[in-house]
A and B are shown apart, each in its own frame.
Chain A
Amino acid sequence: MALREQLRLMVVDDMSTSRGLITQALDSIGIRNVATASDGAAALQAVLKSPVHLVISDYNMPGMDGLHLLHYLRNTPQTAKVGFLLITGRADPAIIDKGRKLGMNNFLKKPFETADMKAAIEAIVGRL
């Protein structure tokens, strides 16, 4: 079975439009095991109940932002090793640097093409 069929993902974004866009891109890459959440806490709770390989999260969210979620994931034993791809509207070096320190696997700048998404994921998990 191809890797893309095995991969289980969690997409976190407060905007349903963005969740739609990301899942749509994933769908065209061939990644179909995708769960979504509209905020960090819900995402964390969901991946605890149903573990995933990779969390794709927006940076800018109310309450818990993307990096905050990453920090919580890394500090929860069950999710400490999950892959984390940050999606951000602004590739602010400060954000990326903070992400690096927290153990972010990769980031992707909005707006993105499907190919960008594929490359960003492949950089983490290998060829899809």
Chain B
Amino acid sequence: MSDPMNDIRASFFIECEELLEGLFDALQTMSDGSADDETINVAFRAVHSIKGGAGAFALDQVVSFAHHFETAMDDVRSGKLAPSDDLVQLFFRCGDILSDLVRAARDETTVDAALVDPVLEELGKYSTSPDSGEAEEEISDFQPLTLDLGDLGAPADGADDDFDALLASLPPLPSDDEPQEPVARTVVFRPEPELYKSGNEPLFLLRSLGELRPSAVRLDFDPDSAPGARMTWTVEFDDPVKCEMVEEVFEFVQGLCTLSFGSDASPRESVPAEEAAGTFAPADLPMDKIPEPASPTSDVAPPLATIDPAATDEDGPAEATTAMPGGAPKGGAAPKNMASPTVRVDLSRVDRLVNLVGELVINQAMLSQSVAQSSLGSNTAITSGLEEFLQLTRDIQESVMMIRAQPVKSLFQRMSRIVREASAAVGKKVVLTTDGENTEIDKTVIERLADPLTHMIRNAVDHGLEKTEDRQAAGKPAEGQVRLSASHKSGRVVIEVSDDGGGINRPKVRQIAIDKGLIPEDAALTDGEIDQLLFMPGFSTATTVSNLSGRGVGMDVVKNAITALGGRISITSHAGKGTTFSISLPLTLAVLDGMVVSVAGEALVMPLNAIVETLTLDGESVRRLGPNSNVVLVRESFVPLLDLGVELGYRAPKENYAGAIALLSGQEDGHRAALVVDSIEDQRQVVIKGIQDSYGRVPGVAAATILGDGQIALILDPSDLIQNSSGQSRAPANIEAV
């Protein structure tokens, strides 16, 4: 059995990730300026909880840092510190350091103090107390209360809704330390004519206000005002009432009346409402709609509340709403408001399930095939049952894939850190906006996207955006925008990284490619083709190797990483307006839409997304370039012809490719090739079975699958095939048709 402490420790680090996510969410809300008290509470609690847990595992570095962080945040919470932009930015950096410390602790390493100390020092500048920390006040005078252990008593029976009622009936926590919320002792309510016109009744509003137990109500009448705006009610409270709760009463007449709050009892002499009512002249509204004049005594509330029998019926629930917020902060204690319950499952168990479902899909395909081959009619119970089985299998497969799916939010949060760091390093002001954070992708894909995306974001900040001066000169806002978005598009996930920079400098890119010998000097390239040069190995536009990008890791690495995920990457760029990199990914790595083809008697699967079109070659279009290399003319341009049978070593090159079937495969880099096959068998979803563990990397082969008849088929990797083709049946490069 595993050590329980180790399990708890492991779960602590998982929990930390969740807390950090919550922390960054809250900080983002603060930096957007839309934070309320609960936001800072959430942020504080996250840091506090991390500190608490870290203390239990003696992770001193985490505890000490979290302590300082927490102290500063507590000062913001209690109003001692104003959450200025600078401070929130510092909190972001603290969050980054805390994440580093937590991850270092998890991996049993440490974080270089040189990274931590400057942030701590800056945090110290905000410290409000001389010694922020070490010595907490000792509580020496607390005497534990002993308890007589009597009978436990009978369990309370009753349904869960009784519990809600009980919870609601409980008195609010004595509030001795919650002065933050705005409160008022006088509320002045002045309806506008529109209020009456829209069918609203001051009576009902005042009646609801009565539930907040006011002590006096006064009605002022001003005959000089516009008709319909002559009456003003002033409601007074002995105990301060929360403005928020009053506003709630008037929620539906917002904009139809003036509502103002006073913090102390009205300076004007409180005129008994009765008298006030007596003073006004016939008004422009029916008198019977005026509420019963309330007496100015302190027990005014009951009559107000009992005017309408219906109102008394609502007393219970009404009290519930007043009682709960008394002590409970927003978010409430009611269990109904909780996020949907989750369960943590070991990833290996999910993977096993995914595998089993894969087997199920294969099994179902085999069954379908044998039924099709048997002489059963199409209307038998077996075939119709099989149809349902097929549908069920698909549903199960989708559901299982969803278990592995995760929102890209955590990934995007990591990117906001990259933007912060990258923009600081190059001295540019950059704002990252994200979109579609809740888009879900397979967990493995998310993990493997982190590196390429990091690189792309750095590139956008470093190369994509112009220097601040250049931006201003171009009449753009000094602050650069980097946008990161995720969305689902026709069964794939599209992630876009865009900037509002100067766009790709195509003449410069072209020149660099020529200088580096990547293209001939007189190459005629379209804009799109020039953009594609960025993905060529060894290409870098940075004239100086900056600290950020340009560390030898180019966009070609990004592209390879995306391709390895079954994805595609493309660029669109507009001079002066910016560049967008668009990554399109399959929803899952476990199944693939493929075309089953046959080559020299072998069944092979070609990923459908790599196939642009299928061709039947005629003698005219195939041109021989060398002894064993051919090109084929496809719509005005020549494309290298690759014989899959030759490439995979199944057979010798054919003499003549006229009449052969070819799959035109297009790569994101613009490389295309026509892959010759013997026949196309089927188009279907296949379950990907990795072969790397058993066979290592096989050139041109991505994985394997099991077909419906139990046959094993290799899944091809077209980009690898095209890049590493033997050249036997291949032309050296794309050649423009003349």
Q: Write the residues of chain A forming the contact surface with B, with a CB cutoff of 8 angstroms.
A: 3, 6-8, 14-18, 20-21, 24, 27, 39-42, 44-45, 48-54, 60-64, 67-68, 71-72, 75-76, 78, 81, 83, 89-94, 96, 98, 100-101, 103-107, 110-112, 120, 123-126
Contacts and interface: CB of A to CB of B under 8 A. Distances in A.
A15 B56 contact: no
Interface string B120-135: 0000000000000000
A68 B328 contact: yes
A61 to B, nearest CB: 8
Nearest to A94: B177
Given A16-B11, A68-B173, A63 B156 contact: no
Contacts of B173: 67-68, 71
Contacts of A44: 163, 167
Given A48-B163, A67-B173, A111 B153 contact: no
Interface residues of B, number: 54
A76 B137 CA distance: 33
Nearest to B142: A96
Nearest to B16: A17
A110 B155 contact: no
A45 B163 contact: yes
Contacts of A98: 176-177
A103 to B, nearest CB: 7
6 contacts: A17-B11, A48-B166, A75-B171, A91-B137, A106-B142, A124-B145
B712 interface: no
A39 B174 CA distance: 20
B53 to A, nearest CB: 5
A46 B170 CA distance: 16
Q: Which of A16, A61, A62, A125 has the most CB of B within 10 A?
A: A62
A89 B334 CA distance: 25
A60 B483 CA distance: 36
Given A62-B45, A96-B142, A106-B145, A52 B152 contact: yes
Interface in B15-64: 15, 41-42, 45, 48-49, 51-53, 55-56, 58
B126 to A, nearest CB: 19
Given A105-B147, A106-B144, A18 B53 contact: yes
A124 B144 contact: yes
B25 to A, nearest CB: 13
Contact of B42 (A45, A62, A72): A62
A39 B136 contact: no
Q: Which of B45, B138, B154 has the most CB of A within 10 A?
A: B45
Chain B at the A interface: SS class = loop
Given A20-B7, A93-B139, A53 B55 contact: no
Interface in B147-194: 147, 149-150, 152-156, 160, 163, 166-167, 170-171, 173-174, 176-177
Given A40-B333, A105-B145, A123-B146, A111 B170 contact: no
B346 to A, nearest CB: 15
Given A24-B5, A72-B170, A124-B147, A89 B48 contact: yes
A107 B142 contact: yes
A106 B147 CA distance: 10
A125 B149 contact: yes
Given A17-B11, A17-B12, A90 B144 contact: no
B55 A111 contact: yes
B59 to A, nearest CB: 10
A103 B173 CA distance: 13
Nearest to A50: B155
A89 B56 contact: no
Given A72-B170, A91-B136, A126 B153 contact: no
A24 B8 contact: yes
B329 interface: yes
B139 to A, nearest CB: 5
Contacts of A124: 144-147
A64 B330 CA distance: 10
A17 B11 CA distance: 6
B335 interface: yes
Closest 4 CB pairs of A and B: A111-B55, A123-B144, A64-B333, A20-B8
Q: Which of B144, B329, B331, B337 has the most CB of A within 10 A?
A: B144
Q: Which of B45, B147, B152, B163 has the most CB of A within 10 A?
A: B147
B477 interface: no
A15 B152 contact: no
A8 B173 CA distance: 26
Given A16-B11, A39-B338, A91-B136, A63 B331 contact: yes
B332 interface: yes
B327 interface: yes
Contacts of A50: 155
Contacts of B51: 89
Contacts of B507: none
